[in-house]
């Protein structure tokens, strides 16, 4: 096997990349990674592993960063509690492996008996001597939000001085109903009553949710709402920048996009952007005009209309993603763990291994205690420190 470095996915055929993503999410696709390339805060590269005949066997996106962007993609801010005295600056320049957005990194490897060897080759190239000379200044390397079973394989191949940290829980709704009424009937009595009250209040408010796609007609209507929500939650964003970002996504992802527009009196007061890929609906982002909100627009737009759409179109799952656990668990989503891997050039993190294991177990136990009422109501539960679960450092 040999490794090469590509600066853009323009040099990799879509069909060739697709051989690595069978059964994976939109966040592993050629279109998704291509859409991320224009962010000036990150310098993307792609490690490509090929066999002697030139066939693509595996790939790993890598991003050289000096800071900025989503704070959940820097060890100091993503794990502020664990690295208590750490600063963002102490982790950069850094090298982020896999996805740097959407809280999902899946291994990009062909379906082959050599899967483990290919992943090991990629990790050695990324965590070991630099395949890309421009990354020679990095002080830290990390791979964030890896789901199981990929995380178990990565943990078994990590250098002994790497830490494994519990990054949170991914939320997925398994679509198993023939109608929206059947979905409601599957909820507990208390949850079902709450949802019906929310839907009734939304109807009385005069609101409705219509379906659209991401494009030049839709983007100008939703960009100010996206900017407002980003700003509200601590990421100041101007409408012009939000519009540029959404148009960039539309360039590569419009065909996968499903936009749910919340309207009242002819005005769009909220939206939720999803991507549909291989019979799965992936929640991407939302935006709202908070001065115009009435009753339950958030729930109708982010949950109920996408659930209707998924049922009507025979989809298998809805991937609601990271955080906001109360809202997602309360509507039937099930959690599964996401794992993060961290290595620092100047700090021997292996001495923190026992602390990391204890921290991981505590975080998962806290999750169970906090959301126990949801779990009693039939929500599938996976993130637990059970035997075989990744909970700490794994050496070669």
- What pTM, to 2 d.p., does this model score? 0.92
Give the Å distances, CA to CA, from 10 to 113, 145, 219, 229: 29, 26, 25, 32
Same domain, 192 and 275: yes
Same domain, 295 and 274: yes
pLDDT (0 to 100) of residue 396: 38
Q: What is the extent of the structural domain holding 252?
A: 176-315
Rounded CA separation 382/384 (Å)? 6
User: Per-block average pLDDT, block size 10, for the chain (396 residues)?
Assistant: 92 95 95 87 88 95 86 93 91 92 94 89 78 69 94 91 93 96 93 93 93 96 97 93 95 97 94 97 96 90 98 97 91 93 92 92 91 79 64 50
SS3 377: coil
| Vertex 99: Cα angle to 95 and 103 (nearest 5) | 115
Could you tell me the CATH number of the domain that includes residue 143? 3.40.630.30
Q: Which two tokens stand for residue 210?
A: 């219509």
Q: Give the number of other CB atoms < 10 A from CB of residue 358.
A: 12
Q: Is residue 330 part of a domain?
A: no
Cα torsion at 48, 50, 56, 58 (round to 10°)?
-50
Q: Is residue 384 part of a domain?
A: no
Same domain, 230 and 264: yes
Same domain, 148 and 289: no
Same domain, 152 and 12: yes
Q: Is residue 387 part of a domain?
A: no
DSSP-derived secondary structure for 58-98: EEEEEEEESS-S-GGGSHHHHTTTTSTT--GGGG-SEEEES
Region of 30 on the Ramachandran plot (φ > 0 left; ψ -120 to 50 alpha; else beta): alpha
Same domain, 54 and 187: no
pLDDT (0 to 100) of residue 108: 97
Strands 56-65 and 94-97: antiparallel
Same domain, 120 and 147: yes
Give the Å distances, CA to CA, from 383 to 73, 172, 221, 237, 341: 21, 13, 39, 34, 17
Q: Tell which residue, 167, 298, 297, 285, has the closest CA to residue 235.
A: 285
Same domain, 165 and 24: yes
DSSP-derived secondary structure for 22-52: TT--GGGSHHHHHHTTT-TTEEEEEEEEE-T
Alpha carbon 326 to its chain's center: 18
Same domain, 163 and 200: no
Q: Is residue 234 part of a domain?
A: yes
Q: Is residue 304 part of a domain?
A: yes
Rounded CA separation 195/204 (Å)? 14
| Vertex 15: Cα angle to 42 and 170 (nearest 5) | 55
Rounded CA separation 258/274 (Å)? 5
Q: Is residue 118 part of a domain?
A: yes
* Axis crossing angle, helix 115-127 with helix 150-157, rounded to the nearest 10: 60
Same domain, 157 and 231: no
In sequence order, the 6+-apart residues with CB closer than 8 A to the CB of 291 are: none
Q: Is residue 209 part of a domain?
A: yes
Same domain, 265 and 197: yes
Q: Is residue 226 part of a domain?
A: yes
Q: Do 3 and 49 meet the contact criterion of CB atoms below 8 Å apart?
A: yes
Q: Tell which residue, 85, 20, 78, has the closest CA to residue 47.
A: 20
Total domains in the fold of the chain? 2
Alpha carbon 247 to its chain's center: 20
Task: Give just the sign of the alpha carbon dihedral 373, 377, 379, 380.
Answer: positive
Same domain, 43 and 88: yes
């Amino acid at each position: 096997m040999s490794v090469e470095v590509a600066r853009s996915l323009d040099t990799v055929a879509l069909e060739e990349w697709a051989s690595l993503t069978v059964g994976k999410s939109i966040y592993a696709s050629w279109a998704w990674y291509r859409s991320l390339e224009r962010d000036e805060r990150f310098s993307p590269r792609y490690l490509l592993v090929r066999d002697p005949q030139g066939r693509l066997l595996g790939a790993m996106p890598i991003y050289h960063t000096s800071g900025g962007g989503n704070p959940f993609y820097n060890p100091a801010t993503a794990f502020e509690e664990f690295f208590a005295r750490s600063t963002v600056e102490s982790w950069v320049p850094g090298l982020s492996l896999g996805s740097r957005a959407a809280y999902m990194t899946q291994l990009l490897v062909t379906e082959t008996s050599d899967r483990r060897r290919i992943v090991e080759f990629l990790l050695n190239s990324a965590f070991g001597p630099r395949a890309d000379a421009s990354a020679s200044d990095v002080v830290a390397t990390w791979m964030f939000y890896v789901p199981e079973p990929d995380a178990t394989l990565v943990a078994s191949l990590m250098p002994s001085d790497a830490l494994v940290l519990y990054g949170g829980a991914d939320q997925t709704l398994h679509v198993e109903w023939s109608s929206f009424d059947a979905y409601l009937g599957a909820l507990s009595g208390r949850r079902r009553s709450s949802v019906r009250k929310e839907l009734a209040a939304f109807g009385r408010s005069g609101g409705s949710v219509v379906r659209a796609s991401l494009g030049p007609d839709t983007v100008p209507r939703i960009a100010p709402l996206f900017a407002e929500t980003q700003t509200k939650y601590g990421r100041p964003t101007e409408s012009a920048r939000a519009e540029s970002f959404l148009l960039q996504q539309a360039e590569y992802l419009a065909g996968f996009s499903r936009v749910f527009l919340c309207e009242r009196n002819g005005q769009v007061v909220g939206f939720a952007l999803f991507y549909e890929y291989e019979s799965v609906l992936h929640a991407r982002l939302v935006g709202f005009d908070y001065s115009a909100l009435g009753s339950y627009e958030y729930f109708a737009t982010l949950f109920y209309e996408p659930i209707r759409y998924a049922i009507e179109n025979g989809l298998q799952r809805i991937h609601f993603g990271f955080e906001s656990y109360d809202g997602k668990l309360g509507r039937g989503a099930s959690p599964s763990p996401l794992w993060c891997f961290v290595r620092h050039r100047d700090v021997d993190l292996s001495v923190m291994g026992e602390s990391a294991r204890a921290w991981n177990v505590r975080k998962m136990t806290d999750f169970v205690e906090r959301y126990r009422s949801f779990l009693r109501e039939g929500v599938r539960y996976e993130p637990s420190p059970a035997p075989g679960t990744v909970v700490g450092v794994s050496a070669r």
